[in-house]
Chains A and B, each alone.
Chain A
Amino acid sequence: DAGVIQSPRHEVTEMGQEVTLRCKPISGHNSLFWYRQTMMRGLELLIYFNNNVPIDDSGMPEDRFSAKMPNASFSTLKIQPSEPRDSAVYFCASSLRYVEPQHFGDGTRLSIL
C-alpha cells in the first residue's frame, strides 16, 4: 500500500517567493495533519482536516500560511511570502480517524534563503 506522499522532497527558494507543499494522504483516511519540525520548536501541529474540512488551524503561524484540502486525496500548504524563519521540515500525516495512529509522509525540507 502506498503511504502518505509529499512533494517536493526538497525546496530551496528565495525570501519573498511563494511556496506550495503538496500531500496525498492514504486512501480511506479521514484526517489529515500538517506539521512543522525545527530543532528549536520541535514538532508543531499547524492545522488538521477532518473529512476535508479544516477543524483547527490555531497552529498556523500567521496569515502568510494557508492550507487547503479540495478533496479527500489532496492537500496543499502554501506560504506567501516566504521568509527565512520558515525554513524547516514540513510533514503531512493522515489517519483513519482523528484518534487513530498517524502515518507520516517523508516530509519536505524547505530552505528559504
Chain B
Amino acid sequence: GQQVMQIPQYQHVQEGEDFTTYCNSSTTLSNIQWYKQRPGGHPVFLIQLVKSGEVKKQKRLTFQFGEAKKNSSLHITATQTTDVGTYFCAGFSSGTYKYIFGTGTRLKVLA
C-alpha cells in the first residue's frame, strides 16, 4: 500500500543552524501538506503544495514539491527555539483517495 517516509527521524541543531526534512512517497501524489506539532500539542497545518516542482516560502520556511510529485522537503533557515516540534508531511493520492501522514521528523533546537 501507499507509504510516506520522512528522514531524518530526529534532528538536533544549534540555534541559528539550518534544518531540512525530506518526505518520500511510494506513489505519485496529487498534493502534499505539511504540519507542525509542538511537544504536547496537536498538528497544525503549515502549507499545501499541488504543482510539480512547486516552491513556497513562509518567512524562514521553504517548502518544495518534487518534479515527479513523489517527494517533498521542508527547509528552515536559521532555526530558532520556537521551531522545536515534530514536522509531518501528509501526502494525498488520487488513486487511493487517502491522505497518509509521514513518520515525522522531530526537531530539537539547542540554544
Contact = CB atoms under 8 A, between A and B. Distances in A.
B73 interface: no
Interface string A93-113: 100001101111111000000
Nearest to A89: B42
Question: A-side binding surface: helix, strand, loop or mixed?
Answer: strand
Contacts of A104: 42-44
A105 B42 CA distance: 7
A56 B104 contact: no
A45 B90 CA distance: 11
Nearest to B103: A42
B19 interface: no
A111 to B, nearest CB: 15
A49 to B, nearest CB: 14
Contact of B31 (A35, A42, A91, A99): A99
A110 to B, nearest CB: 15
A2 B42 CA distance: 15
B92 interface: yes
B42 A107 contact: yes
A12 interface: no
Interface string B38-52: 000111110010000
A93 B88 CA distance: 15
B65 interface: no
B45 A101 contact: yes
Q: Which of B31, B42, B100 has the most CB of A within 10 A?
A: B42
Contacts of B45: 101-103
Given A98-B97, A105-B42, 4 more contacts: A102-B35, A102-B45, A102-B99, A104-B43
Interface of B: 30-31, 33, 35, 41-45, 48, 88, 90, 92, 97-101, 103-104
Interface of A: 35, 42-45, 56, 91, 93, 98-99, 101-107
17 contacts: A35-B101, A43-B43, A43-B88, A45-B99, A45-B101, A56-B98, A91-B42, A98-B97, A101-B48, A102-B35, A102-B45, A102-B90, A102-B99, A104-B42, A105-B42, A106-B41, A106-B42
